[in-house]
Structure 1
């Protein structure tokens, strides 16, 4: 199981000054840079959790200004980018399953045409 993880470079939770991704060559995960990346990822996920609570509070008050709503949107977008990066990094290091993924025999790809409009999320 570690063969796949050992060959896959780790996507780090920061970028170069030019915005390019940074990777760490495979290791046992106990080195300084690995531990630093682990700590930063934990902080980023913790910040996302706090931001979610802030968003719930602001939206529940229903007394926001356009500027507050804009700032919240920008912060939520930045947090989503960060958590997506953490998920990509962690997902890439997961071992490849030794079994075939489950496919629902009743799920026909023809039921979902590629040109079908996506109206986005729906309100309950």
Structure 2
């Protein structure tokens, strides 16, 4: 991955285009878009921590039914996708 401080480097952003394609930031790693992306990533990581906590609770409950497991998994899957995207972006 290119140096984050190189103005010619590309940063994978934590969202996709309307067509579902990856979005990249080229240029100022300290600019408005980069700052906004950092905040989006922070919210995504917080949501992932919450989904993980909820999944642990459900898995720790022996009487949890199939619906509770499916709901926990439904929250965990997109959270994991966001975390992986952030990890890829950060190299």
TM norm. shorter chain > 0.5: yes
Structure-1-length-normalised TM-score: 0.65
How is 1:1-124 mapped onto 2 (pairs within 5 angstroms)? 4-5=3-4, 6=6, 7-27=8-28, 29-91=29-91
Alpha-carbon RMSD across the aligned residues, in angstroms, is: 1.4
Task: Work out the CA distance in 2 between the residues paired with 1:49 and 1:63.
Answer: 23
Q: Which has the larger radius of gyration?
A: 1
Structure 1 unaligned spans of 5+: 92-124
Shift of 1:88: 0.4
Higher deviation after alignment, 32-41 or 59-68: 59-68
**Residue equivalent to 1:120:** none
Task: Work out the CA distance in 1 between the residues paired with 2:15 and 2:75.
Answer: 17
Higher helix share: 2
**Residue equivalent to 1:101:** none
Misfit runs of 4+, over 3 Å:
none
Higher deviation after alignment, 30-39 or 59-68: 59-68
**Residue equivalent to 1:112:** none
Task: Work out the CA distance in 2 between the residues paired with 1:25 and 1:66.
Answer: 45
Task: Work out the CA distance in 2 between the residues paired with 1:35 and 1:63.
Answer: 44
Structure-2-length-normalised TM-score: 0.87
Structure 2 unaligned spans of 5+: none
Higher relative contact order (CA 8 A, sep 6+): 1
